Amino acid sequence: MQTRRLGKGNLEVSALGLGCMGMSYSYGPPKDKQEMIKLLRGAVDRGVTFFDTAEVYGPFINEELVGEALEPLRDRVVIATKFGFDIRENSDPRGMTGAPAANSQPDHIRKVVEQSLKRLRTDVIDLFYQHRVDPAVPIEDVAGTVKELIQQGKVKHFGMSEAAARTIRRAHAVQPVTALQSEYSLWWRPLEAEIIPTLEELGIGLVPYSPLGRGFLTGKIDPNAAFDSSDFRSRLPRFAPEAMKANLAFVELLKRIAAAKDATPAQIALAWVLAQKPWIVPIPGTTKLNRLDENLGAVDVKLTADDLGEIDAAASKLTVQGERYPEALAKMVEA
């Protein structure tokens, strides 16, 4: 497995990481624990060293799963988790139920890190993200609190998620930001206007979540299919039947390139993200070993400048139908 360095933070990880959320949360009921432990350890065997979780995934059970699975392999892996939500009964930060509640108060961050360390069965968190910017707390206070945790040896690196360029700059001035995690894929590219240039200037890595468009870009989703109510996508405008039918044009584009490269649409989608910058590390999620193998195969797919030009030219003529989040959750993403 090839490795990449996330910005100037001296954090070296596998070129593809593994997003663990779907094993416990958002995409239907939690999956079988032992099967997921097997998958996580199988990923390490295949060279994956970068694993992404958060306290809200479950909540809590995804961190517990990752902690149990990776405890025997802790010296071989980098674990990223997140803070920033006030997790209460009937309050779901993903908008599944209740209203989202941000909380990045310094005392809350200190409390969360202790709880996450226990669930992850580790004495240090490699990368600690602010999950969403909290408008009630100055970002300087957030960065300063994480700086204290780094000085105390409880955290190694500071990350942010779905933050605006101006906020990233303010945080970075207090405590260098190692990585920004945000959605980025062939069908979600607003980061290219301001965020990616800012990251490049400051030496911050990018960790794209949903690089496969929450599964849509794999070509495996039937646009006529109805998602179960426990599947987060059932609430996303982009996954309404009519929107999915319109967005099939992106899948057809990937299929065309994949046929010429003896690859799959998923591999082309991931290879495209990898080709954008050497400091980008996507974290596609999966709950199946064969899909993990397919995703990892993207590292070996080489897209030439002509390939990338063809993809960009074709994609520029397409318009994504449907918002990526429902209104309540969209408000938690900094513009």
Domain count for the chain? 1
For the stretch 312-316, contacts whose Cβ atoms lie closer than 8 Å and that sit 24 or more positions apart, written own/partner, are 314/253, 315/186, 315/187, 315/250, 315/253
pLDDT digit string, tens, across residues 15-50: 999 999 999 988 888 999 999 999 999 999 999 999
Q: What is the pTM of this model?
A: 0.94
Question: Is residue 179 in a domain?
Answer: yes
φ, ψ (nearest 5 deg) of residue 84? 130, 0
For residue 326, give its domain range: 3-330
Q: Which of 114, 124, 21 is nearest to 63 (CA)?
A: 21
The residues pairing with 209 across neighbouring beta strands, listed in sequence order, are 183
**pLDDT grade for 101, boundaries at 50, 70 and 90:** confident
Say whether pLDDT at 325 is over 70.
Answer: yes
pLDDT digit string, tens, across residues 232-269: 888 888 888 888 888 899 999 999 999 999 999 999 99
Catalytic residue from among 57, 129, 209, 325: 57
Residue 283 token pair: 């974290």
Residue 277 token pair: 């910058």
**pLDDT grade for 229, boundaries at 50, 70 and 90:** confident
pLDDT digit string, tens, across residues 267-303: 999 999 999 999 999 999 999 999 999 999 999 999 9
Can you tell me the distance from the alpha carbon of 257 to that of 264, in angstroms, rounded to the nearest whole number? 9
Q: 102: helix, coil or strand?
A: strand
For residue 57, indicate whether it is catalytic.
yes
Please compute the mean of the pLDDT values over residues 120-147 and round it to a whole number: 97
Among 212-221, 228-237, 282-291, 308-317, the range scoring the smallest mean pLDDT is 228-237
Can you tell me the distance from the alpha carbon of 10 to that of 199, in angstroms, rounded to the nearest whole number? 15
Among 140-154, 206-220, 271-285, the range scoring the smallest mean pLDDT is 206-220
Contact of 66 with 36, CB cutoff 8 Å: no
pLDDT at 71: 98
What CATH number does the domain containing 303 carry? Answer: 3.20.20.100
Can you tell me the distance from the alpha carbon of 316 to that of 86, in angstroms, rounded to the nearest whole number? 39
The residues pairing with 231 across neighbouring beta strands, listed in sequence order, are 27
**pLDDT grade for 54, boundaries at 50, 70 and 90:** very high
**pLDDT grade for 151, boundaries at 50, 70 and 90:** very high
Say whether pLDDT at 92 is over 60.
Answer: no
Q: 200: helix, coil or strand?
A: helix
Question: Is residue 241 in a domain?
Answer: yes
Can you tell me the distance from the alpha carbon of 21 to that of 37, in angstroms, rounded to the nearest whole number? 13
Question: Is residue 335 in a domain?
Answer: no
pLDDT at 95: 44
Share of the chain above pLDDT 90, in %: 77
